[in-house]
């Protein structure tokens, strides 16, 4: 039967749950991401972020940069994106970010890597079957220089809802 594959298929779920986030557990996130000029131009123009440091290389050079600067909001979104499968793909709303610092400029061709550490966990009073987790996430370039760090808080599904 051609359709038999659906009945025979074994699911390959992704993501972690509340129970997986013990305080101090560290995740070295997958993939990494080399950011290129196309990424930066597309992101900056789609978000209407009109600072020529991100879109005019002569302007950026006149301000002491070797190339256009990668839009810091793209640096944030990329480091966040790399962390999602480990941290939040298991489900639950993204609640907020605290204490985000942009430590160093990122340039086209730089490769970002991300890691996170569990810093807080508690039960959710309002959402049954969920908890609230805070992670400290850090992004690094290919030289190991930390370019960003922040604390992110999400609602997180429990493995077996009460």
Instruction: Give SS3 for 104.
Output: coil
Asked if 140 interacts with other proteins (CB under 8 A), we say: no
Report how many residues bind other proteins under the rule CB under 8 A. Answer: 46
CB 104 within 8 Å of CB 145: yes
Please identify, using beta-carbon distances, which residue of 21 and 43 lies nearer to other proteins.
Answer: 43
Give, in order, the Cα–Cα distances in Å from 55 to each of 42, 63, 67, 68, 76: 10, 13, 10, 6, 18
The tokens for 32 are: 């990494």
CB 146 within 8 Å of CB 139: yes
The tokens for 76 are: 């944030």
Largest CA distance in the chain: 67
Stretch that binds other proteins, among 3-11, 17-25, 41-49, 134-142 (CB under 8 A): 41-49
Asked if 129 interacts with other proteins (CB under 8 A), we say: no
Angle formed at CA 103 by CA 68 and CA 81, multiple of 5 degrees: 75
DSSP lists the bridge partners of residue 118 as 135
Asked if 95 interacts with other proteins (CB under 8 A), we say: yes
Stretch that binds other proteins, among 3-11, 19-27, 37-45, 130-138 (CB under 8 A): 37-45
Stretch that binds other proteins, among 20-28, 96-104, 116-124, 135-143 (CB under 8 A): 96-104
Asked if 145 interacts with other proteins (CB under 8 A), we say: no
Task: Count CB neighbours of 80 within 10 A.
Answer: 20
Please identify, using beta-carbon distances, which residue of 117 and 153 lies nearer to other proteins.
Answer: 153
Asked if 142 interacts with other proteins (CB under 8 A), we say: no
Asked if 52 interacts with other proteins (CB under 8 A), we say: yes
Binding residues vs other proteins (CB under 8 A) = 14, 31, 33, 39, 42-44, 46-53, 56, 58-59, 62-63, 72-74, 76-78, 80-82, 84-85, 88-89, 91, 93-102, 105, 150
């Amino acid at each position: 039967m051609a359709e038999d594959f659906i009945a025979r298929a074994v699911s390959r779920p992704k993501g972690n749950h509340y129970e997986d986030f013990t305080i101090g557990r560290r995740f070295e996130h997958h993939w990494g991401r080399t950011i290129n000029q196309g990424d930066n131009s597309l992101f900056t123009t789609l978000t209407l972020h009109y600072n020529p440091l991100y879109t005019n290389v002569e302007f950026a050079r006149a301000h002491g940069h070797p190339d256009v600067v990668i839009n810091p909001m793209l640096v944030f979104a990329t480091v966040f994106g790399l962390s999602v499968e480990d941290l939040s793909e298991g489900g639950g709303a993204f609640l907020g970010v605290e204490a985000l610092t942009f430590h160093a400029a990122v340039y086209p061709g730089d490769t970002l890597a991300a890691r996170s550490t569990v810093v807080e966990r508690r039960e959710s009073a309002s959402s049954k079957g969920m908890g609230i987790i805070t992670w400290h996430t850090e992004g690094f370039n290919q030289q190991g220089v930390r370019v960003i760090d922040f604390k992110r808080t999400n609602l997180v599904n429990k493995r077996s809802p009460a």
